[in-house]
Amino acid sequence: MVGGLLPAGTTLPPLPHLLAVLLATGGVVAALRRRRPAVTGRRVLALAPWMALGSAAHVLYVVDALPPLIAPLAGSPTVYLTVGSLAGAAWLAADAARPERVGGTLATTGAALLVPVVAAAVGAGLSPVGARWSAVALGLTVPIAGGTWLGLTRFRPEVAVTGGVGALAVFGHALDGVSTAVGTTQLGFGERTPVSRILLEIGGLPSLPVIGDGWLFLLVKLAVASAVVWLFAAYVRETPAEGYLLLGFVAAMGLGPAAHNLLLFSVAA
């Protein structure tokens, strides 16, 4: 019964890889707790490339473009621990070297790792049709996310305290909603998460251009993301470090799957 609640494709790596990832993650978490680097909105926002990095690495895993030795580290959900431990280690190193420039270093390092991974995925085989629809999804998301954020901050001005991290959360979930709708409607992709699949498969609804029946899924994503950001506003104001960190996790839950969708469409459609 539990398996039916998990996304399709969820696997565990071989025991040696699993132990290595768990030990690395545990070590990085212990080091972060011991050093306690400052957590700010700018630093959490700088983790955006790392959020996309895990998704890009998983696409390489899906298209079987990784060496066998490291491929298990990019499976789902192991890839989240793999990239999370790398990001944590980068944060520790940046904080030890130049604490005043942690945000810039984190963003630069994440982008430097992301670019070759994306290039490797595209090099494995680019789908012009899929790439075109990925661009359409991104283009649609910008005004949708922008309008949602503008409306949210206008009707709930206190949300503005979440800053770029709150905006990233709304954008990430909007992009996940739009790209999922486009992928299922235009490219024939399926949704791996059971709850999302139910929303996409509800019958009797009118279809919209480009996103088809996926508008309900998108609407729910926007509503939930907006509600969470609003609820986190007080948390960010009262306990900024914890609030920004948890809101960053919310953003990653949207931006990660969205980046996965866009890249996968571009190479596998």
Domain ranges of the chain: 13-124, 126-268
Give the CB-side neighbour count of residue 226, counting CA atoms within 13 A.
21
Q: What whole-number distance in Å separates Cα of residue 9 and Cα of residue 75?
A: 9
Q: What whole-number distance in Å separates Cα of residue 67 and Cα of residue 235?
A: 43
Q: What whole-number distance in Å separates Cα of residue 92 and Cα of residue 88?
A: 6
Describe the crossing of helices 240-268 and 128-155 by its angle, rounded to 10 degrees. 150
Encoded tokens for 105:
């270093």
Please say whether the beta carbons of 201 and 212 come within 8 A. no
Q: What whole-number distance in Å separates Cα of residue 200 and Cα of residue 159?
A: 29
Q: How far is CA 156 from CA 85, 160, 227, 242, 247, in A?
A: 35, 8, 10, 21, 17
Give the CB-side neighbour count of residue 50, counting CA atoms within 13 A.
28
Q: Look at residue 1 in the predicted model and tell me its pLDDT.
A: 30
Where the chain has pLDDT below 70, the residues are: 1-9, 191-192, 194-197, 199-201, 203-206
CB atoms within 10 A of CB 136: 17
Q: What whole-number distance in Å separates Cα of residue 123 and Cα of residue 117?
A: 10
Q: Look at residue 205 in the predicted model and tell me its pLDDT.
A: 64
Q: What whole-number distance in Å separates Cα of residue 267 and Cα of residue 261?
A: 10
Encoded tokens for 199:
């929303």
CA-wise closest residue to 264 among 38, 73, 64: 64
Give, as one character, the DSSP assignment of residue 74. Answer: G
Q: Which residue has the tokens 């609804």?
A: 205
Describe the crossing of helices 194-201 and 163-186 by its angle, rounded to 10 degrees. 60
